[in-house]
Amino acid sequence: MTLTQMSHRQRLLAALSHKQPDRVPIDFGSTIVTGIGLEPYERLKKALGMKFGKTRVFDQAAQLAQVDEEILNLWDVDTRGLTLGSIAGQLDHDEGKQDVILDEWGICKKYSLESETYFVANSPLSGEISAKRILDYQWPDPGKSIKLEDLKRKIMTTRAKGDHAILLALPTNFILTSMELRGFEDWYLDAGWDKKMLGMLMDQILDIQMGMCNEILTEIGEQIDVVVNFDDLAIQDRLLVSPATYAEILEPRLRRLFDFIHTKTSAKLLHHSDGAIKPIINSLIDIGVDAVNPVQVSAKGMDNLKQLKQEYGDRIAFWGGIDTQHLLPFGTPEEVYTKVQSIIEEMNIDGGYVLCSVHNIQKDVPAENVIAMFSAALD
């Protein structure tokens, strides 16, 4: 097989296996963290002169658009994403806004007009916590919310459209779920003063999430190419918790989860965490992560992509890196084009890099800059 003969799937898997692809793999809209908001997507369609009906909702909580196949094909995007939510791709733009969303964990989220997204409105396990309160909580049934036949049908439909790399987002964000159940203030108090109780809560959540994954991966684990785990481990300038607390209560549970995933599928494992994750990249490698997203270049220690590539690039792949805080919203199309090509030259050496924006493209990003980003990737 020569480089010019790579299919979308071969290209992405080559990059994640640290082999040189024929060109940099491109992701756009395959996950809830690599997509585009509804409003900027409408502008993008207009800028491209494309008219193909109403914009569909990919994710309701994040107010993300379902990227149309015509645009994915225009930019030769290598990825296609599967989600477990029944809402994906089924609502029109105007139907995708509800004042309140209540999820299967009993967490209520309300829509904010200011930010045009949803925020936690209640934390049902906030306040005084005990083992009894955790055990007595009305937990979701792992088998009830999974629609395997829908997933199998989506896989068949996706494969019929071309040999694209299929990503499956797993319901495994036990850290975030524990935060939303406890409330952020109580969660941090637990992390400092009652790690045993916080660990019990996270284990309860993780057992349920792994039950969901067991059913999914047993049925379709070998039909997908990348499994995606979303759970933030850092903020803009530091880890969520101290390195010692990460090592004590987060790393062992992440290891348990990732070991389980690797026993169920040979798919690559992509972990999403915003923020300053450099202090734990070696840990993520050690516990089985194949690629990290979004490579937030505006976060502490993450700005020097060339250094990250030199230090870790032969052991983990980087997925993202195109800045959405400064470059995409405020740069000119020419600046975006030049910077993206420079990043590709630095990162796409012996594979190990997938191009996409740092998190979702928001309404402050001009359509011309989105076009410039993908044009640079293809050129």
What integer pLDDT is reported at residue 53 of this predicted model? 79
At residue 88, the pLDDT reads 37
| Alpha-carbon radius of gyration of the chain | 20
| 261: Cα within 13 Å, side-chain hemisphere | 28
Q: How far apart are CA 316 and CA 311, in angstroms?
A: 10
pTM: 0.94
Burial class (CB within 10 angstroms; exposed 0-12, middle 13-18, buried 19+) of 61: middle
- Interaxial angle between packed helices 174-182 and 195-220, expressed in degrees from 0 to 180 and rounded to the nearest 10: 130
Give the pLDDT score at 102: 86
Q: What is the pLDDT of residues 253-311, one digit of tens each?
A: 999 999 999 999 999 999 999 999 999 999 999 999 999 999 999 999 999 999 999 99
Helix axis angle for 195-220 and 184-193, nearest 10°, is: 110
Number of domains in the chain: 1
Say what the pLDDT of residue 90 is: 41
Looking from the CA of 39 toward its CB, the CA atoms found within 13 Å total: 10
- The answer, yes or no, to whether residue 203 has pLDDT greater than 60, is yes
Give the domain extent around 305: 3-378
Mean pLDDT taken over the chain = 92
Question: How buried is residue 219: exposed, middle or buried, by Cβ count under 10 Å (0-12/13-18/19+)?
Answer: middle
Q: What is the reported pLDDT for 99?
A: 83
Give the model's pLDDT for residue 51.
79
| Alpha carbon distance 68, 55 (integer Å) | 8
Residue with the larger pLDDT of the pair 319 and 82: 319
Reported confidence tier of residue 2, pLDDT bands at 50, 70, 90:
very low
- For the chain, give the percent of residues with pLDDT over 90: 81
Count other C-beta atoms under 10 Å from residue 250's C-beta.
22
- Alpha-carbon gap, residue 213 to 265, rounded angstroms: 11
pLDDT digits (tens, 9 = 90+) for 122-144: 999 999 999 999 999 999 988 77
How high is the pLDDT of residue 3? 47
H or E, element range at 200: helix 195-220
Q: Tokens for 87, please give them.
A: 């809402």
pLDDT tens digits, one per residue of 52-89? 778 999 988 888 999 999 999 999 999 999 887 533 33
pLDDT tens figures, 94-129: 555 578 888 889 998 888 877 777 889 999 999 999
pLDDT exceeds 80 at position 181 = yes
How far apart are the C-alpha atoms of 366 and 361, rounded to whole Å? 10
Side-chain half-sphere of 376: how many Cα atoms within 13 Å?
23
Region 8-23: what's the mean pLDDT? 97
What is the predicted pLDDT for the residue at 97?
59
Q: Give SS3 for 56.
A: strand
Q: Residue 161 pLDDT more than 50?
A: yes
CATH of the domain at 256: 3.20.20.210
